[in-house]
Structure 1
């Protein structure tokens, strides 16, 4: 009798069921395109389908697509649909809005049609910052990276210009269908060329800090963090795919740097490891300001809402200060980075819970100052100088440091979950109307 009652209340595969599936797929597509983890995408889609009467759904999330399969009871045939994620552009403001809409739908405050219109409104909203400001934010990130490793005002200006030229050139190539790999390689090559020209002209500028700033600006920190989170959480296909994408991007950066440095060495330009800029071993005012600027610039470039820029700046300073203090205790770069990222991951996730926003919004920009730009540049200099073994070891250390960032962020969130479990999200106790 109980089974018969459940079957009586099971919705058929009608217009409302198709609308619910379409809504869930569009939510998943937006979240995945915005950089959210596979676990969060799966959870949000499940909440949508449950809220609107489709409790028996299977969800499949990969880096390139989201799929949804609904199996009605009563011997009716299953329905399967999929949406491809063709462009993955960071937009954390849209990500926050989608999470708010999903919460409202799951709590029964929105009908199906209201959720559909709300999602269309989110998609149609203008970005929180104009295009020129996001482009400027990436260039500012490069300039702040130069300051972070000891470069002065003129080095920061040079890094700003080099990053801007690389970004604009990559944008121009992208409009002509050139692959992202070559766009990134050319951007790194332009930064290296500016460094080589400064070294060749013998100007009193720490030229090495320029290319390090450019590298920090282009390392894919967002994808790096999410790839480690997906992999550790058990979404191995998505996590591995994201990680391979990160490795290809890093390879492109190294290719651009290496090609220019090799040509410079052949032409006799004096580039050596003797005066290579390094991060200070104690907290300094200029570098602290640079860390805050990197975090804020990263946040603006990824369209984080204005209300979170100040907390992001504080988080960037905390990440950098923790790293420097740990390095002062003679810890290697990778463990120091992992611990600093763990601290930021725990505190940032706690703040995100309080504000009821995705943790990525509050955490990812804060770890940008920890990107291993100096190690990558030093490794390429060793390789082009003929010391292949030492160069390879340094590049492996750079990769380990980069992976330590993503792992540390996830570990911090998990530690917070042990100490302070997230509140259990209750399912709606009644089926809300799906008619407008």
Structure 2
């Protein structure tokens, strides 16, 4: 019987670091006039197409601009594209290669028109890039693998992704003491809001109005239950429904990615992602504020002193809620099942650090948020390095327990009740907490980067040209 072809053994850490140093040195080698005169040959068109399609799918699936750029450069070296340059923005990917001699440069471009957050595909693409960069995949095998990844099913069915959004809201309700009934209604309200947004999306309605409609549906159900509870004296903390829905809709992923892109020198993408963040936030604020204003005009009593908040509690239900929010967020992002326990632990960790510092040292919410986010950033980057997974897979769900849903809701109610200054200050505080989350997890990543010696797709101490353009080259 003929011997079956054995799969190459994964390389050692030394081989990995050597390979990464080689491709970085090759990419940064200056192009001299003599090299321009060398006779070249046209690069393989399949290599250009494969590199572009990998970058396009990574960007469309939710990966950050820097990681997409590094991955494409790594593939360009692996597939022997001479003197390759990559440009990645929020929606456009460009790859240019110069064969040398009298041959003109060859440039290809892809435009991302549709985005679907799918960290399962992002993880598979990172594995493809890693193996190709280490010489374990040739061009033909990489193209075949890419087609398989593009056609692959997500680890969860579509209905489970919708359930994930509902579980975010119900976990947040449990965390804020809402009880079983409130958690169940929060789940139902968020799922109905999500299905409303999907319905509008299929008819070509802009995302701003999709998010506003989702917020309107959930807020209407929450305030409806609040009215019933007050009329029948049920004592339900129905406002937790709206807070949970806000947390499910808040744009944690573009917020973290925008700060990450800005820190790493991709200012165009950073500005676009930050604008996306504030547009989504504006849609949520518009939807909830419209419903809250209407409810108050109709006589629904909303007591500011009884608005739901987990405060600084470290009780078991609060910790379970924090883990549930993180894992439910991961499910909605199609994170593989085997990573959920680690993400749940990170969700509990960020809350324990935040609540512990606020209770013990009486620090402001922003300071506690930064401390928890930095810790999660360090551990998340360490886990990503150990497991060879993209770091956003760990970071984005883990920050969910600290998303400022309750602060944002309080600000909206204050504005609708006439205390505009207090409401605006609460909204500013919510924005500050969100920015603190994004900056904190990125600072944790920078601390890891400063002391590591390698990583995915050439990342490491010397893996960021923008840093050396400012001060790192002195």
Normalising by structure 1, what TM-score?
0.93
Residue aligning to 2:250: 219
Please report how far the alpha carbon of residue 45 of structure 1 lies from its aligned counterpart in structure 2 after TM superposition.
0.4
Q: Deviations over 1:169-203 (max 9, x none)?
A: 11111111111111111111112111221221123
**In structure 2, do the counterparts of structure 1 residues 150 and 343 end up closer, same or farther at CA, with 3 Å as the change threshold?**
same
What CA RMSD, in Å, does the superposition of the two structures yield over aligned residues? 1.9
Note the C-alpha offset of 1:349. Answer: 0.7
Q: Does 1:74 align with 2:101?
A: yes
Which residue of the partner structure matches residue 12 of structure 2? none
Match of 1:141 in 2: 168
Match of 2:237 in 1: 206
> Secondary structure of the equivalent of 2:154?
coil
| Equivalent residue number for residue 42 of structure 2 | 13
Match of 1:85 in 2: 112
Task: Tell me, yes or no, if the aligned pair for 1:299 and 1:309 is still in contact at 8 Å.
Answer: yes
In structure 2, the CA distance between the partners of 1:3 and 1:170, relative to structure 1 (3 Å rule), is closer
Distance in 1 (CA, whole Å) between partners of 2:457 and 2:405 is 41
- The offset of 1:400, in angstroms, is 0.7
- State the match for 1:433 in structure 2: none
Once the 2 structures are TM-superposed, how far is the Cα of residue 425 of structure 1 from its aligned partner? 6.4
Task: Tell me what 2:79 maps to.
Answer: 52
Of 144-153 and 166-175, deviating more is 144-153
User: Could you state the TM-score of these two structures normalised by the residue count of structure 2?
Assistant: 0.86
2:146 to 106, 119, 125: 119
Residues 227-251 of structure 1: CA distance to partner in whole angstroms, max 9, x if unpaired?
1111111111101100100100000
Structure 1 residue 314 displacement after superposition: 0.7
* Alignment check: 8 A CA contact 1:11 1:54 kept: no
Match of 1:278 in 2: 309
Are residue 242 (structure 1) and residue 273 (structure 2) matched?
yes
Matched position secondary structure for 2:305: coil
User: For residues 216-365 of structure 1, what are the structure 2 equivalents within 5 Å?
Assistant: 216-328=247-359, 329-365=361-397
Tell me if structure 2 keeps the 8 A contact 1:185–1:255: yes
In structure 2, do the counterparts of structure 1 residues 6 and 138 end up closer, same or farther at CA, with 3 Å as the change threshold?
Answer: same
Unaligned runs of 5+ in 2: 1-30, 460-474
Contact 2:219 2:291 (8 Å CA) reproduced: yes
Name 2:427's counterpart in structure 1. Answer: 395
Structure 1 stretches lacking a partner, 5+ long: 428-436
Is the alpha carbon distance of 1:3 and 1:255 closer, same or farther for their aligned partners in structure 2, counting shifts above 3 Å?
closer
CA 1:223/1:10 → structure 2, altered by over 3 Å: closer, same or farther? farther
Q: What is the CA-CA distance between 1:150 and the residue it aligns to?
A: 2.1
**Separation in 2, partners of 1:414, 1:389:** 37
Specify the SS of the correspondent of 2:86: strand
- Identify if the C-alpha distance between structure 1 residues 145 and 11 changes in structure 2 by more than 3 Å, giving closer, same or farther: farther
Q: How many residues matched?
A: 424
Contact 2:385–2:456 under 8 Å retained in 1 = no
Q: Any idea what SS the aligned residue of 1:274 has?
A: helix
Following TM superposition, where does structure 1 have runs of at least 4 consecutive aligned residues deviating by more than 4 angstroms? 2-11, 423-427
Distance 1:160 1:212 in 2: 12
Aligned partner (choices 164, 189, 197) of residue 162 of structure 1? 189
1:422 Cα shift? 3.2
Q: In 2, Cα distance between the equivalents of 1:177 and 1:302? A: 22
Distance in 2 (alpha carbons) for counterparts of 1:420 and 1:111? 28
Confirm or deny: 8 A CA contact 1:150 1:280 kept in the other structure. Answer: no
Hey, what's the Cα distance between the residues in 2 that align with 1:374 and 1:367?
15
Distance in 2 between residues matched to 1:3 and 1:173, nearest whole Å? 55
C-alpha change, 1:116 and 1:369, in structure 2 (3 Å) is same
Q: Counterparts of 2:345 and 2:159 in 1: how far apart (Å)?
A: 25
Task: Give the drift of 1:310.
Answer: 0.8
Q: Deviations over 1:20-39 (max 9, x none)?
A: 11111111111111211111
Cα displacement (A) at 1:345: 0.5
